[in-house]
Structure formats: structure tokens, C-alpha cells
Amino acid sequence: MRVILLGPPGAGKGTQAQFITEKYNIPQISTGDMLRSAVKAGSDLGLKVKDIMASGGLVSDDIIIALVKERIQQPDCAGGFLFDGFPRTIPQAQALVDAGVPIEHVVEISVDDEQIVARLSGRRVHEDSGRVYHIEHNPPKTQGLDDETQEPLIQRPDDTEETVRNRLNIYHSQTKPLVEFYQGLAATESNALTFSTVNGLGALEDVQARLVSALT
């Protein structure tokens, strides 16, 4: 099963991607995780990515596609994979088509902008482990501290309200057109590509049930 999850930042793609990968036993390919790993490693690429992410901008297609092409060649992708946060632009989507990467399901998770601002600006992260909390919806046992290590939690620069709104503006101008792109492919392609829109609001179990319905 080869799946693409679309939707604005903060729509819950990461959480739902984990659910899908566990249910269908396929790896999650998150460009966000790959980029943050590059930043943490402090490589030349990581330093370049750090400045772009901190300002809420999008990393160039060349960098993202290079990361993704390398990833899907690994053995664990033989039975399928799930793209989380990729593609973000029409050129990236077209690059997948040109590379002959077969996609079976494209699912858009839909959430209102103001709901997303509330979700992301309240997010706190334990940097070393990647554990994510929310000051309202999933608070740590002790305010500001990771449950397991008691180390301080941080707010990532890309989670501040100003940066979130900037990212949403970029999403609507550059990434939202992917919805029409894949709707068009689903209508014209002879393969089994399907496109679905899923409401990302509500209880986690309800959203997951909608996803399973879209993928079957």
C-alpha cells in the first residue's frame, strides 16, 4: 500500500500516519523528521535547512526529492510506504509521477486554520526523544518537563503563532493545489489511485475510522 497524506501543518498527519503504518505494516516517510534529523546532525545540509524551517519557509524541491528518493530505495519500502509531508508542491508531485513511483491512495485531512493555530502554538517537544506534548490537550505530568526524563520541554521555532500562520499561508498558496492535482489524476489515471478528503476534527478514534474507510 502506497499512501500520500495531504493537509495543512497541524492537521494531525503525523499522528494518523503512525496509525496507518502500524495498521497496514508499512514505513512512514516523514520529510519533517528527516529534515529535523539533518538539522540535529549539524551537516551542511542541516544548517541550511535550519534557517529555512525557523522562518516557516519551504525547503527546496531538490533537497526534499534527494532525501525521498534515497529513502524509498531501502528494503523496508518494498511492500509500500506512507508519505507524510511530501509532496508539498506540484513540481514534487510531478517528480513522483516522472520517477514512476506508484501511489494507490491520496488522503487529505481537512482542519480549519484557527484550529490549527491553537493546536500548534500549544505544542511542546522533548528534543532528544521527539516526544510531543500539548499544553491543553496532552500536557506533561509536570508543567514544562518531559514525563520520562524530567528534562525541559521546548517550543520549536516553527510552532510559534507567527510562524504557524506563515506556514498556513504557504500551504494555501503552494500545497493546497495538490488537492486538485491528485483529484485530476484519480479521475484520469488507469491505475487504482483514489483521492479522499477526511475531516480531521473530533475524537482520535473517529478520525482513524474515517481514514480506514478512505483506504478500503
Active site (catalytic) residues: 13, 88, 123, 156, 167
Cα–Cα dist 103/95, whole Å:
13
Chain-centroid distance, C-alpha 213: 20
**Residue 6 contacts residue 179 (beta carbons within 8 Å):** yes
* Assigned C-alpha cell, 80: 509500500
Residue with cell 523496508: 76
Cα–Cα dist 169/154, whole Å:
24
**Residue 174 contacts residue 89 (beta carbons within 8 Å):** yes
**Residue 164 contacts residue 177 (beta carbons within 8 Å):** no
Burial 85-102 (b: 16+ CB within 10 A, else e): bbbbbeebbebbeeeeee
Chain-centroid distance, C-alpha 50: 17
Sequence-separated (6 or more) residues with CB below 8 Å from residue 142: 150
